[in-house]
Amino acid sequence: MIIKNGKLFIKNKFEDDHHLVTKKQIIKNITIKDVKDNIKIDASGCYVVPGFIDIHTHGLGGYDVNQVNKDDMEKLANIYIKEGTTSVLPSTVSQPMEKTYK
């Protein structure tokens, strides 16, 4: 897959006219040359950046990590993904140990 025409974040600055080439969801190359591929995403007017990592979160979108079940955790994960966050470290708040384990 190729993501083209976006502003790519490369070496601490945004660059135009670069293409991001991926294979099986792994970045394989960043190039200014036109690359042939069946799947192309036109990112015109968009910024292309690495996924964000939230290293301390209590929840999002009405979900509290202390109160969610397995299905709600999946819904919470999908909200993070839509916001550009690819990894999270759910953080609990002080409460009785039995609730934290649950």
**CA triplet 34, 36, 40: central angle to 5 degrees?**
90
Number of domains composing the chain: 2
Domain shared by 96 and 61, yes or no: yes
Domain shared by 34 and 62, yes or no: no
Domain shared by 44 and 56, yes or no: no
Segments forming the whole domain that contains residue 60: 52-101
Domain shared by 44 and 60, yes or no: no
Query: Tens of pLDDT along 4-26?
Result: 999 999 989 999 988 999 998 88
pTM above 0.95, yes or no: no
Domain shared by 63 and 82, yes or no: yes
Other C-beta atoms closer than 10 Å to the C-beta of 1 total: 14
Query: Tens of pLDDT along 54-77?
Result: 999 999 999 999 888 889 999 999
Domain shared by 31 and 72, yes or no: no
- So what's the pLDDT on residue 85? 94
